[in-house]
Chain A
C-alpha cells in the first residue's frame, strides 16, 4: 500500500530538490514560496508558539510543583535540624546542625514501630476485606436486574453523600452496646459484658468493612459497578453456556479480568484508611493508629519530653517535632506511592471511575 501511495502522491514544485545538497533552511524557503499568505502566517504563529510554550509550561509546572512539594521539603528540612536552628534567622532550608535527635524523640513519643505495625495490619486487613465485599456488591448492581435495584443503588449514592459525622454517634452506641446485646450479657457476668463492648476493639473497623460499609465504601461500590458495566457481556455469556453458575462465573471469569482494577481500588482504600482519623477517633480511645498519634502529637510530645501532659510547648518550638511527625506519617505512603505510582494513576482510567 505504502509503495503505491508514494507513487501516486502529487509531486509539488520544489520538492525534488530535497536531498540535493541543500540545507534545511533552503528547503523550507522553497516550501514557503509555494504557500499563500494565510498558510505562512499560520506556520509562523505555530512556530512561535512551539518555541515559547515549552518555556512557559516549564515555569507554570515548576511553580506549581514547588507549591505541592514545599510542605514535604519543609518537613524534611525541619525534621533533621536541631532546636536552636529554629530561632536562627540565617537558617532557611538547610539546617546548620544536622541531627537525628528530633526524629528519634518523635518516634519514641508515637511509639512508632508498634503503631506502624498495628496501623498496617488494620489498614491492609480492612482494605482487603472491603475490596472483596465492595466488588461483589458492585457486580451485583452492574449485571443483574431485580426489583428495587434503583432504590438500592440510591442508598449507595447516599452513602457517598452523607458525611460520617451524621452517623458517628449512633454508630458509637451500636458498637458500645453491641446492637443491644451487651446489656444482656452484662447481666449474666460483668466480664462477658466487657467482652461485648466493642469500643477500642479493631472489630469496629473490620465489621463494617466485612459488610461493604467501611470508609468510603459507597465510592468503592460505585467504582466497581462502573468497571463491571464496562466489561463485555460476552465473557459471562460464554461461561454461562458452559454451565457456570453466577458465583463461579464471577470468581473464575470476572475477577481475573478485573485484577488491575482491584489493585487500584485496594491501594486507594489503604490510603483512605491510613489517612482516616475521624472514624477511628470516634471508636478508639487509646491511640493506636498513625493518624491518631499525629493528631494527638502535642500531648504525646509533652509526655515524652517533660513527663507531663499539661506542659505547653510554644508552637514555635513545637513545629520541628510536628514536622518530624508528619514526615513519619507520610513516609510509608510515599514509599508505597513511589513504587506503585503506575497503579494509582493509570488504574483510575481502567477502573472505570471515568465514563
Chain B
C-alpha cells in the first residue's frame, strides 16, 4: 500500500513543480530580455571600445584596457570611489543606530505618537526622488547660495561651539572632527532612515509579550531591557537594514561614482562607463557579502 501511495504521490509533486515554472515563466522571459541580456551586454562593453552605430553598438575588443584606464587614467574616479566608500562606511552604522533609537521611541505610548510616526516616515516617499536632491543641495550649499541664510543653521560649526562652551578645547582633533561630521550631516541621516525605522518598528512590535513581562517581573531597567531583550530580538532586522542601507546609498543616482558613470555615458564613452560601473558593482557585492558573513555570527534567531 505504502509503495503505491508513493508512486501516486511523485507525479503530483512533479506536476505541482511544473506549475511553479508556470508561475515564474512571465518573469523569467522578462528577466532574460530586460535584465540578463543587458547585463551580459554591459559586461561585454566593459572589455570593448564601443561606438554607437545604426542598428546597434559596434565594438572592438580591447581586453582589460578599459579597466586599466579606470584606475590609472581617470583621476576623478578613484577619488570619488574612495569618498563614496568612506562615506558609506561611517554613515551606515549611524543610520542604523539612529533608526533603532527612533524606532524604540516611536514604539512607546505617548499622545503625539501618530503624528511623530507620520513625520518620520515622510522621507520614505520623498527621499528617492529628484525633490530630495534639490532640497539636499539646497541645504548643504552654503555661502552665496540663496538658501544661505537658512542653511547656516545646519552648516555652522554648532558642535565646535558646544565643545568650547563646555570647555573642551581641542581634546582630540579627530574625535571633534567626527562629531562635527555627524552633526553637520544630521539632515542626510534623518532623511535616509525612513524605511529602516519602519522595519525596526515592525520588529519591535513582534517582540513577544511574554519576554516583556518576564523582564518586568525581574525588575529590569529600560537600559537592561534594551540590551537583553530588544537588541537580540531585532538583530535579524539589523542585518536586513544594514544591507538595505548599503545598497540604497551605493545605487542612488545622487552619489558621485554613479554621477561619473553617467558623465562618461553622456560623452559616448560606453566602454569606460561600463567598466566603471562593473568595478563599482563588484565592490558593492563584496561589501554586502562581508557584512552578511560578519554579522551572521552575532544574530540571534529565535527559531533554530
Interface residues in chain A, defined as those with a beta carbon under 8 Å from any beta carbon in chain B: 42, 45, 49, 54, 57, 60-61, 64-65, 67-72, 74-75, 86, 89, 92, 133-134, 136-137, 139-141, 143-147, 149, 152, 155, 158-171, 173-174, 177, 179-180, 183, 207-208, 210-213, 221, 245-247, 250, 271-272, 274-278, 291, 294-295, 315-319, 322-323, 326, 329-330, 333-334, 337, 341, 344-345, 348-349, 353-355
Residue-wise interface mask of B (11-31) relative to A, using a CB-CB cutoff of 8 A (1 in contact, 0 not) = 001001111111110111111
Given known pairs A155-B36, A167-B42, A170-B45, the reply for A136 and B105 (CB within 8 Å) is no
* B250 neighbours in A (Cβ, 8 Å): 163
Given A165-B253, A211-B31: 4 more A-B contacts, CB < 8 Å: A163-B280, A212-B27, A246-B16, A344-B125
B135 pairs with A326, CB closer than 8 A: yes
Interface residues in chain B, defined as those with a beta carbon under 8 Å from any beta carbon in chain A: 13, 16-24, 26-31, 33-39, 41-42, 45, 54-57, 102, 105, 108, 110, 112, 116-126, 128-131, 134-135, 138-139, 144-147, 149-150, 186-187, 190-191, 198-199, 202-203, 205-206, 219, 221-222, 236-237, 240, 247, 250-251, 253, 258, 261-262, 265, 270, 273-274, 277-278, 280-281, 284-285, 288
In the docked arrangement, what's the CA distance between A41 and B209, Å? 26
* A277 neighbours in B (Cβ, 8 Å): 129-130, 253
A137 pairs with B27, CB closer than 8 A: yes
B21 pairs with A137, CB closer than 8 A: no
A319 pairs with B146, CB closer than 8 A: yes
Q: Closest residue of chain B to A183, judged by CB?
A: B55
A68 pairs with B122, CB closer than 8 A: yes
* A86 neighbours in B (Cβ, 8 Å): 146
Name the contact of A271 in the complex, choosing from B41, B108, B128, B139 (C-beta under 8 A).
B128
Q: List 10 A-B contacts (CB under 8 A).
A: A71-B135, A152-B24, A155-B35, A161-B281, A166-B277, A170-B41, A174-B33, A213-B30, A275-B129, A319-B147
Given known pairs A49-B222, A166-B278, the reply for A146 and B33 (CB within 8 Å) is no
A294 pairs with B130, CB closer than 8 A: yes
A164 pairs with B19, CB closer than 8 A: no
Q: Closest residue of chain B to A159, judged by CB?
A: B35
B126 pairs with A69, CB closer than 8 A: no
In the docked arrangement, what's the CA distance between A333 and B119, Å? 14
* B138 neighbours in A (Cβ, 8 Å): 71, 74, 319, 322-323
In the docked arrangement, what's the CA distance between A139 and B240, Å? 21
For the complex of A and B, 5 pairs with smallest distance between CB atoms: A211-B30, A144-B20, A140-B23, A275-B129, A170-B38
Q: Nearest-CB distance from A181 to chain B (Å)?
A: 11
Q: Nearest-CB distance from B168 to chain A (Å)?
A: 22
In the docked arrangement, what's the CA distance between A348 and B250, Å? 23
* B19 neighbours in A (Cβ, 8 Å): 144, 245-247
Q: Closest residue of chain A to B52, judged by CB?
A: A173
Name the contact of A42 in the complex, choosing from B13, B219, B281 (C-beta under 8 A).
B219
Q: Closest residue of chain B to A64, judged by CB?
A: B190
Best-surrounded residue of A69, A177, A322 (most CB of chain B within 10 A): A322
In the docked arrangement, what's the CA distance between A178 and B225, Å? 59
Q: Nearest-CB distance from A129 to chain B (Å)?
A: 11
B146 pairs with A163, CB closer than 8 A: no
In the docked arrangement, what's the CA distance between A134 and B57, Å? 32
Q: Closest residue of chain B to A336, judged by CB?
A: B125
Q: Closest residue of chain A to B197, judged by CB?
A: A345
Q: Nearest-CB distance from B13 to chain A (Å)?
A: 7
A174 pairs with B37, CB closer than 8 A: yes
* B139 neighbours in A (Cβ, 8 Å): 70-71
* B54 neighbours in A (Cβ, 8 Å): 183
Q: Closest residue of chain A to B203, judged by CB?
A: A354
Given known pairs A161-B285, A161-B288, A166-B274, the reply for A137 and B26 (CB within 8 Å) is yes
Given known pairs A144-B23, A316-B145, the reply for A211 and B33 (CB within 8 Å) is yes
A155 pairs with B31, CB closer than 8 A: yes
Q: Nearest-CB distance from A243 to chain B (Å)?
A: 13
* A345 neighbours in B (Cβ, 8 Å): 117-118, 121, 198
In the docked arrangement, what's the CA distance between A149 and B21, Å? 9
Given known pairs A179-B33, A213-B30, A277-B130, the reply for A169 and B274 (CB within 8 Å) is yes
* A183 neighbours in B (Cβ, 8 Å): 54-55
Q: Closest residue of chain B to A314, judged by CB?
A: B146
Q: Closest residue of chain A to B139, judged by CB?
A: A71
B20 pairs with A333, CB closer than 8 A: no
* B203 neighbours in A (Cβ, 8 Å): 354-355
* B126 neighbours in A (Cβ, 8 Å): 275, 330, 333
Q: Closest residue of chain A to B126, judged by CB?
A: A330
Q: Closest residue of chain B to A144, judged by CB?
A: B20
Name the contact of B105 in the complex, choosing from A61, A211, A245 (C-beta under 8 A).
A61
B26 pairs with A136, CB closer than 8 A: yes
In the docked arrangement, what's the CA distance between A54 and B26, Å? 53
Q: Nearest-CB distance from A306 to chain B (Å)?
A: 19
Given known pairs A213-B31, A274-B129, A345-B198, the reply for A355 and B23 (CB within 8 Å) is no
A174 pairs with B38, CB closer than 8 A: yes
Q: Nearest-CB distance from A83 to chain B (Å)?
A: 11
Q: Nearest-CB distance from B254 to chain A (Å)?
A: 10
Best-surrounded residue of B57, B119, B198, B202 (most CB of chain A within 10 A): B202
In the docked arrangement, what's the CA distance between A157 and B117, Å? 30
A65 pairs with B116, CB closer than 8 A: yes
